[in-house]
Amino acid sequence: MPRTIYYERSSKKPGIIRTKKLHILIISLAIFFSTTSEGSMSSLPVITSATSASGSVGTTFSYQITATNSPRRYSATGLPTGVTLNSRTGLMSGTPSMAGTYEVTLEATNQDGTGTATLTAAISGSAPVISAAAASETVGSAFSYQITTVNSPTSYGATALPAGLALNSTTGLISGAPSASGASSLLEGGGMSALPVITSATSASGSVGATFSYQITATNSPWRYDATGLPTGVALNSRTGLISGTPTTAGSYAITLQATNRRGTGTANLAATISAGSAPVISSAATASGTAGNAFSYQITASNSPSSYGATGLPSGLSVSSTTGLISGTPSASGTSTVTLSASNSAGTGTASLAITIATPIPTITSATTASGTAGSAFTYQITATNSPTSYGAAGLPAGLSVNSTTGLISGTPSSGGKSTITLSASNSGGSGTASLTLTINSASTSSTFTVSPTTLAFENQPVTTTSSAQVATVTNSGSSAQTLSSISLTGTNASDFSETNTCGAALSAGGYCTIAIQFTPAAFGTGTATLSISGNSGSNPQTVALSGSGAHDVILTWTGSTSFGIVGYNIYRGTTSGGEGSKPLNSSPISGLTYADSNVQAGQEYFYYITTVGAGGTSQSPPSSETSATVPTQ
C-alpha cells in the first residue's frame, strides 16, 4: 500500500530537540462491507476445498483454495513444477512440466491466525510410443533408420543392433554399414529406460545434537526423492536426495527411501541409529546482577540441544522457563544468591552455578523543588524519596534551619530573608540520590504578603503542537492591606511552550484571592520546563510556580471512505508485529470520520495498523484493509 509520511521539526528554542507529529496517509484504501459478524472473525480459517486434484504434463492446471472466516492471504508449499499460487485470491494455476504425485500444504490466514490442509495433486505423463517398422539393407551398404515416436522422448535406445550400425541416443537415428546379416533390433524411446534403483548404503548412524547427513543415490536419473520415518530434527531435500539436520531424539529408525523418474518409483530401506550423544554443557555467564524492583533477565545457554532447563535457589520474584531457559522477573529484595542451573537432554543433565547479585535501588527525591517562608516565623519542609532511605541530608540551609537526618524534616525559624539553593540528599545501602531545593525566605518587615498554591504544576504526555487543558495556580493575599500585582511572567528555556491567563487584575484586596490559568502546548517531543513568577508591591520576593510538561508523539491515520450502503463508521486495529493486531479496536465506538489520532504510542516502537468498515448496528464489519506501519521516532 502506498504511504506518505510527513515529519515536522520545530525551529523554536534550542536546548531540547524533539520530533513533532508523525502523520501517516493511507492512500486508495479499498474497504468492502461484509455481513460477516464481528464474532465470526474470532476463529481461524478452515479450508473447505477438495483434498485431491489431478492434471497432466503440458496441460493447463487450475485449483481454487476456499476457506471460511474471511482469509486475507493464502499460501501453498510443494506445488507441482510449473504451477503457482495467487496469494490474494487462493487460485493455483499453471502448466505442469513434471509428472508425479505432489503433497501440497495449503494455508489460509486471517487476523486470528492460519488454518492448514493437505492437497494431493496427481500429475500424469505419457511415455513415448515408438512407431516401429521393418527395415532391411544389404551388407556393406550404407544404412539409415529414424526412430519415430510421440510424447517428446528425451533419449533413445536400441539393443541387438547388427554389427556396423550405431544409434544417436539424442536424435534416434540408426546409421552405418552393416557387416553381416542379422535380426531386427528392439528399439526404446523415452527419457528413462527403467525404474530407479537405490544404490546408497542401507544403514547410517548419528547422535542427538550432532549434524547428520546421508545422501540417497540411485540409477536411471531420478528427478525426485522421498523418505518416510526420518528422525525428529532431520529433513530431506526432495530434489537432491540429501537427508540432513540435527537429530533431537535418540532411537532406531526404519526409513523408507524412494527415488522417482518418469517410469516410476524405486524403493529401499535405510536403518538409521541415533545415539543419545552427550549431556548438555552450560556455557552462559557465571555471574549476573540486577536491581530490586527493576526487570531482570538472564538466558541459560548450553551445548548438545537441551530439551529442558532448571534453576534452583532463585531470588524472590524470579522464575525460569523450563522450555527456553530464560530466567526473568522483578526481584523484590536485594542480596546475593547462589543459583544452580541445569540443562537436560536424553543423554543426561549438565549443571553450573550462577551468582546473582541484586542491588538496592538508590533513592529518588520526590518532594517539591521550591519552598518559601518568612524570617522570624517557624518553617518546616519534609524531604520525601523512594526506595526506603535510611538517612537524609540538606546542605546550604539558611541560618536558623536544620535537617533531621533520620526523618528528613527540615525545620526551625529562619533569622533573615533571602533566597538559598539547598542540596537535598537521601541515602540507603545502594547509594545516595540528590536534588536541589530553591528556598525563599521573605523579610519579616513585610506588612502585606501574598502566596501562590500549588508551587509546582506538571503537564504529562501532551501531543506535540496541541494545547492541554488548563491547570490553575491560586494567588492569596493574606495581609491586612491591598496588594498590587506588579508583574506576572513566564521564564525559562521552554517558556514559549506555556501560556498564562490572569484573572487577578492589577489589585488584590486584603484577604482576597484570584487564579492564574496555565496551559501547555509542546513545540516538540520531550520534557520542557519554565517558571511562573508573580511579583507584588509589598517588598516581598516574587512567588514562583515551577512548570513542567512532556511532549508526546501521536500517529495520524487518514483513509479514503467506502461508498458501500449501510456503513456507519470504521474501526482501527493496531499491533506491534506484522499480522499481530489485537482483537479489539483502538476506538471505543465506530469512527464516523476519515482520520484517527493514535496518541498512546512509545518512542522507537514500530506499530502495524489496519481498518475495517462497520455495518448498521455496529456489530458487523468488513474484512481488514491492507496493513500499514509506522515507526515512532526516538526523539
Same domain, 546 and 472: yes
Identify the DSSP state of 282. B
- Asked if residue 308 belongs to a domain, the reply is yes
> Biggest alpha carbon distance in the chain?
146
Q: What pLDDT was estimated at residue 10?
A: 38
Do strands 507-508 and 379-382 pair parallel, antiparallel, or not at all (unpaired)?
A: unpaired
The pLDDT of residue 313 is above 50: yes
For 51-55, 64-68, 600-604, which range has the lowest pLDDT when averaged over its residues? Answer: 600-604
- Asked if residue 56 belongs to a domain, the reply is yes
Q: What pLDDT was estimated at residue 169?
A: 80
Measured CA distances, 428 to 23, 251, 346, 368 (Å): 46, 58, 48, 21
The pLDDT of residue 319 is above 90: yes
The pLDDT of residue 17 is above 80: no
Q: What pLDDT was estimated at residue 567?
A: 86
Percentage, residues of the chain above pLDDT 70: 84
Same domain, 298 and 355: yes
Segment holding 456, helix H or strand E: strand 456-463
Same domain, 389 and 351: no
463-498 per-position pLDDT tens digit:
778 888 899 988 888 777 777 777 788 888 888 889
160-195 per-position pLDDT tens digit:
677 888 888 888 788 888 776 554 444 444 444 589
Cell (9 digits) for 324: 527456553
Q: Are 143 and 137 in contact (CB under 8 A)?
A: yes
- Asked if residue 369 belongs to a domain, the reply is no
- Asked if residue 118 belongs to a domain, the reply is no
* Among 237-241, 487-491, 531-535, 572-576, the range of highest mean pLDDT: 237-241
What is the identity of the amino acid at 89?
T
What is the identity of the amino acid at 184?
S
Whole-number average pLDDT of the chain: 83
The pLDDT of residue 30 is above 80: no
Same domain, 313 and 353: yes
CA gap 299, 323 in Å, rounded: 12
Q: Count Cβ neighbours within 10 Å for each residue of 203-223 and write b for 16 or more, e otherwise.
A: ebebbbbeebebebebbbebb
Taking the C-alpha atoms of 598, 601, 604 and 608 in order, what is their torsion angle to the nearest 10 degrees?
-50
Same domain, 271 and 297: no
Same domain, 426 and 480: no
Segment holding 3, helix H or strand E: strand 3-9
- Asked if residue 622 belongs to a domain, the reply is no
Of the residues 327, 359, 391, the one at which a domain ends:
359
Of the residues 310, 325, 359, the one at which a domain ends:
359
Same domain, 436 and 479: no
Sheet holding 165-167, edge to edge: 143-146, 173-176, 165-167
Domain at 65, CATH number:
2.60.40.10
Domain of 435? 376-442
User: How sure is the predictor about 8, in pLDDT bands with cuts at 50, 70 and 90?
Assistant: very low
The pLDDT of residue 27 is above 60: no
Same domain, 390 and 432: yes
- In degrees and rounded to multiples of 5, residue 267 shows phi and psi of -125, 160
Higher pLDDT, 237 or 180: 237
User: How sure is the predictor about 635, in pLDDT bands with cuts at 50, 70 and 90?
Assistant: low
User: How sure is the predictor about 37, in pLDDT bands with cuts at 50, 70 and 90?
Assistant: very low
For 14-28, 82-96, 415-429, 535-549, which range has the lowest pLDDT when averaged over its residues? Answer: 14-28
- Asked if residue 422 belongs to a domain, the reply is yes
Q: What pLDDT was estimated at residue 345?
A: 85
**Residue 14: partners with Cβ closer than 8 Å, 6 or more residues away:** none
574-614 per-position pLDDT tens digit:
998 988 777 788 888 898 889 988 877 877 888 899 999 99
The pLDDT of residue 23 is above 60: no
Number of domains within the chain: 5
**Residue 11: partners with Cβ closer than 8 Å, 6 or more residues away:** none
pTM for the whole structure? 0.34
- Asked if residue 116 belongs to a domain, the reply is no
Q: Residues 610-628: what's their mean pLDDT?
A: 85
Same domain, 427 and 386: yes
Same domain, 477 and 537: yes
- Asked if residue 381 belongs to a domain, the reply is yes
* 3-state SS track over 30-87: CCCCCCCEHHHHHCCCCECCCCEEEEECCCCEEEECCECCCCCEEEEECCCCCEEECC
Same domain, 536 and 479: yes
C-alpha angle 232-236-241 in degrees, rounded to nearest 5: 150
Of the residues 275, 303, 333, the one at which a domain ends:
275
Cell (9 digits) for 340: 544452580
Cell (9 digits) for 124: 500424469
380-430 per-position pLDDT tens digit:
999 999 998 999 999 999 999 999 999 999 999 998 888 999 999 999 988
Same domain, 389 and 336: no
